[in-house]
Amino acid sequence: MTQRLILASSSPRRKELLESVGLTIEVINPSADEAMLYDESPGEFASRVAFEKAASVSRGLDSGSVVIGADTIVVVDDIVLGKPMDELDATRMLGLLSGREHHVLTAFSILRPREELLHAEIVRTAVRVGELAASDIEGYIKTGEPMDKAGAYGIQGIGAFMVEGITGSYTNVVGLPVPEVLRALTKLGAVRLFGSDES
Amino acid sequence: MNLESRIDEIRARIGSAAARSGRRAEDVKLVAVTKQVEPDVIARAAQYGLCVFGENYAQELRLKQEIINRAVSENVEWHFIGRLQRNKVKYLVGSVALIHSLDTVSAAGEIDRKARAAGVKMPVLVEVNTGGESKGGIEPDALDDFLLKLAELQGVEVSGLMTMPPYFDDPEDARPYFAALRDLRDRLSAKYPDLKELSMGMSGDFEVAIEEGATIVRIGSAIFGNRA
């Protein structure tokens, strides 16, 4: 049986991660309320947004489809850093991350059409950032890379300059924890890694 | 519950408490406390109509103020509500609409110098220690003397009083402290006619404070959640 695998995410990085392990995946842009609710913990927040993204896409699909929604957040001192509003905000965020450890949480949800939840999981990675000089922050922001990324950096790009080490999944920091997603999809019979059939 | 619903709920509660004290909702100014709140959330609150934000740290206030000013077209004002240090006054005069926490002569002198240099009068509230155990604030007995000294400073405009009672599980227990601040203002207002504002009441006890006459309430976690 061929299942359509659909990624409810506008992030090109997530698509690349899944394609890099050989999956064929379609992208449909989701809609979700990406503002934190009152008394929602960071983990609950990411899980809800991941679910809402997948759910928004799942409504219009036929029964042979499986939808993956994901949300990645950067957490420092229990504060959730989203995407920077502008360069000054990016400067502020990078200042918060400088010289210390923070956590990157990616929540993902796998749904069938009509919002039927098959699997939900959250993966956390600790990231240690070195001391950032003001000139480094300024120069990095000038590259434009921070502006569309949660926490104002991308570990897979130029932002690698500031990451001294991580504890946990690397792909989770990029935007999708690949082993965990594959394990879940395999268990659900939606993919077969290194499999002999066409998927 | 989302941010907008929380704001609606808090406004309704302010309105009911104001009505119980024979006033209107507009008689009570809501300062949304944005300590530990990210600028994107503040911007959303501003777009929903919150227009006064309070910060505890001077440099954080300036940074958020600049980010929000660029992000939203709404007019917002900022209040400083944290511990006031003399060396941080330079970040505040000219940037904030009200300093809630003046309680030293040296900070007052610095506000006066910076305000006169800028050709403005800086509105301030004097923090009063009604609880006996708070770290800051002027003792009620010393308030008259302190106000007399401030009256000589041309750059400082004392528009009222602020207090922070000890924390109680039951907000009713804070009522005597709020009543004490109101009594102080009422007694001193003949001598200092500009002494009008009462900044008192936070997320857990703002309704009691309004019933006791608060004109300004400082609410953070009840709007934005417990972020830390």
At B213, which CATH number? 3.20.20.10
Q: Is A53 inside any structural domain? A: yes
Crossing angle of helices B175-188 and B143-151, in 10° steps, is 50
Is pLDDT at A199 greater than 50 in this prediction?
no
Give the chain A residue whose CA is nearest to the CA of B44: A35
Neighbours of A114 (CB within 10 A): 11
pLDDT of residue A197: 54
What are phi and psi for residue A26, nearest 5 degrees?
Answer: -100, 150
Q: Is A192 inside any structural domain? A: no
Mutate to test the interface with B, among A33, A36, A38 (most CBs of B within 10 A): A38
CA quadruple B154, B107, A88, B79: dihedral sign:
negative
Q: Is A193 inside any structural domain? A: no
The total domain count for chain A is 1
Give the domain extent around B199: 3-224
pLDDT of residue B41: 93
Mutate to test the interface with B, among A36, A40, A83, A147 (most CBs of B within 10 A): A36
pLDDT of residue A74: 97
Catalytic residue among A71, A78, A89, A148: A71
The total domain count for chain B is 1
Q: Is A35 inside any structural domain? A: yes
pLDDT of residue A186: 94
What are phi and psi for residue B140, nearest 5 degrees?
Answer: -55, -40
With CA atoms as reference, report the closest residue to B64 among A94, A86, A141, A89: A89
Give the domain extent around A40: 4-187
Q: Tell me the CATH number at A71.
A: 3.90.950.10
Q: Is A196 inside any structural domain? A: no
Q: Do the interacting molecules here have an ipTM over 0.90?
A: no
| Residues counted in chain A | 199
* Weakly modelled stretches of chain B, pLDDT under 50: 228
Give the chain B residue whose CA is nearest to the CA of A93: B38
Is pLDDT at A102 greater than 80 in this prediction?
yes
Q: With cut-offs at 50, 70 and 90, classify the pLDDT of residue A39.
A: confident
Q: Is A197 inside any structural domain? A: no
Q: In the predicted model, what is the mean pLDDT of chain A?
A: 92
Q: Which uninterrupted H or E stretch holds B64?
A: helix B58-71
What are phi and psi for residue B126, nearest 5 degrees?
Answer: -95, 130
What are phi and psi for residue A94, nearest 5 degrees?
Answer: -65, -35
Contact (Cβ atoms closer than 8 angstroms) between residue B12 and residue B202: no
B72 interfaces chain A, CB cutoff of 8 Å = no
pLDDT of residue A60: 83
A148 an active-site residue? no
A194 interfaces chain B, CB cutoff of 8 Å = no
Contact A38 B36 (CB under 8 A): no
Q: Quick one: what percent of chain A has pLDDT higher than 70?
A: 96
